[in-house]
Amino acid sequence: MVHECLKGFYANKMNNTCNACGTGAAECTSNVTATVCLSNYGLSGSSCNKCGSGVADCPAVGELKCLPGFMMSGNACVCPTGKFADASGLMCNSCSSNCGTCSSETACTLCMTPYSLTNSSTCSFSCADN
């Protein structure tokens, strides 16, 4: 008879084995009932859900803690103006020069004055007509 299992496993009393917890669970009582989640996962009911981009810890809904360089906006961690989240969602990188806001290093969404947004999502110098 299985009495105790390692973290990340639960005691299956039907066949006296230790079985793996579900995705994101550090501790559980069954494969569908998590009690503690791994880092970067938050407990919602009895399930562990992956935290969003820039989130250091999301122990429960509404209790997000952002990674360094990210800031809280509503119920999400976002990069400050002039920066974008890298592909891993773990770092904020600077937008290209003359770009005020962007979704990637090469995709500007708003340019700084006196630059204008082009069709290719870059910033181009624009002269004011006098």
Which CATH architecture does the domain made up of 1-50 adopt? Answer: Ribbon (2.10)
Per-residue pLDDT reduced to its tens digit, 92-129 = 999 998 999 999 988 999 999 999 999 989 999 877 65
Distance CA 12, CA 129 (A): 76
Q: pTM here?
A: 0.55
Residue 67: its pLDDT value, please?
A: 84
pLDDT tens per residue, range 43-75: 878 888 777 777 766 665 556 678 889 888 876
Parse the chain into domains and list their residue ranges. 1-50
Task: Could you list the beta-strand ranges (E) of the chain.
Answer: 9-12, 17-20, 25-30, 33-37, 41-44, 47-50, 55-57, 65-66, 71-73, 76-78, 83-85, 92-94, 99-104, 107-111, 115-117, 123-125
